Amino acid sequence: MVAEGGSSLAGSARRAQEVVRELMLIAVAITLYFGVRGLITTRVDTAYRNAEDIVALEKSAGVFVEPELQDAVIRHGWLAETFGAIYIYGHWPVLLATLLWLLLRHRDHYRTFRNAMLLSGAIGLVIFAGFPVAPPRFLPGYGFVDTVAERTSAYRVLQPPAFVNQYAAVPSLHFGWNLLMGIAVATLAGHWVIRLFGWLMPALMLAAIVLTANHYLLDGVAGGVLALLSLLVAYRLSRKRLSARKLR
């Protein structure tokens, strides 16, 4: 009985150490991500030219509908505030809560999704540096309105301007990372209500990034594709690690 109790305590201590270690890793990764992103030297004139190119591309494809959609939302103040709240509070609070849930309840899956976030974040930083893009809210000539800045300062608190590259619209990891967490929740949660939240959360975030004029539709597509490709790579690495472990 004493041996079993000692073994149980040792196992709990190891799990606690692993949780602390992973939480520290996440904290360091987030700090580095925003630190590097904020320090990236952006060519502002290039960022605006690239934004105009994206608008032209969307127009040629017949999908430049963001100004009309945002205008329809702004006419209903409560709807604009709702999407602003989703944009602000549906991102980092949801990401961190989901990662913690994965770490505590689905540890093997946690590593896969964590690695997918790290990989997509690293690739995103390279793209931000090489292809700066001004977000829609910086192009009022098209009718865009920065509804988040107009209606709340909460986002500036959660993500201080000193740590943010304002010209990093492409790809939208704001959507891509929510997509990753949505997949995790939709596939691993036990209750159907929570799984439904996993399905709806990325869709609502995609709408929010566009309707608040923080991203173009193509940004969302790019962020989603990058996140999914990173998840595929992370999943294959996880499978290889599992196979190697079984061969030992």
Max CA-CA distance within the chain?
A: 75
Of 71-75, 138-142, 147-151, 169-173, which gets the smallest average pLDDT? Answer: 147-151
pTM tops 0.85, yes or no? yes
| Cβ atoms 228, 113 nearer than 8 A | no
Q: What pLDDT, in 10s, does the model give residues 156-193?
A: 555 555 556 788 889 999 999 999 999 999 999 999 99
Name residues whose C-beta falls within 8 Å of residue 45's C-beta, 6 or more positions apart in sequence. Answer: none
CB count in 10 Å sphere of residue 193: 8
Return left, alpha or beta for 165; rule: phi > 0 is left, psi -120 to 50 is alpha, else beta: beta
Closest-CA residue to 214 (of 113, 70, 102):
70
Structure-token match 């209750």, residue found: 191
> pLDDT band at 27, cuts 50/70/90?
confident
Whole-number Å distance between alpha carbons of 117 and 93: 15
The CB-side HSE value for 187 (13 A sphere, CA atoms) comes to 11
Of 78-92, 126-140, 185-199, 232-246, which gets the smallest average pLDDT? Answer: 232-246
Q: What pLDDT, in 10s, does the model give residues 75-97?
A: 988 898 899 889 988 998 999 99
Domain ranges of the chain: 2-247
Structure-token match 């959507």, residue found: 175
Structure tokens at 31: 């700090």
The yes-or-no verdict on residue 4 having pLDDT over 70 is no
Per-residue pLDDT, 168: 84
Per-residue pLDDT, 172: 94
| Cβ atoms 218, 57 nearer than 8 A | yes
Question: What would the mean pLDDT of 120-137 be, rounded to a whole number?
Answer: 91
CB count in 10 Å sphere of residue 22: 19
Whole-number Å distance between alpha carbons of 87 and 136: 15
> pLDDT band at 29, cuts 50/70/90?
confident
Query: Which sign does the torsion angle of CA 73, 79, 81, 83 carry?
Result: negative
Q: What is the CATH number of domain 2-247?
A: 1.20.144
Between 24 and 6, name the one with better pLDDT: 24
The yes-or-no verdict on residue 232 having pLDDT over 60 is yes
Whole-number Å distance between alpha carbons of 227 and 221: 10
**Measured CA distances, 179 to 2, 6, 91, 159, 165 (Å):** 46, 41, 10, 20, 22
Structure tokens at 137: 């809210």
The yes-or-no verdict on residue 6 having pLDDT over 60 is no
DSSP string, 166-187: TTB-SS-HHHHHHHHHHHHHHH
**Residue 133 bridge partners (DSSP):** 168
Residue 179 burial (CB < 10 Å; 0-12/13-18/19+)?
A: buried
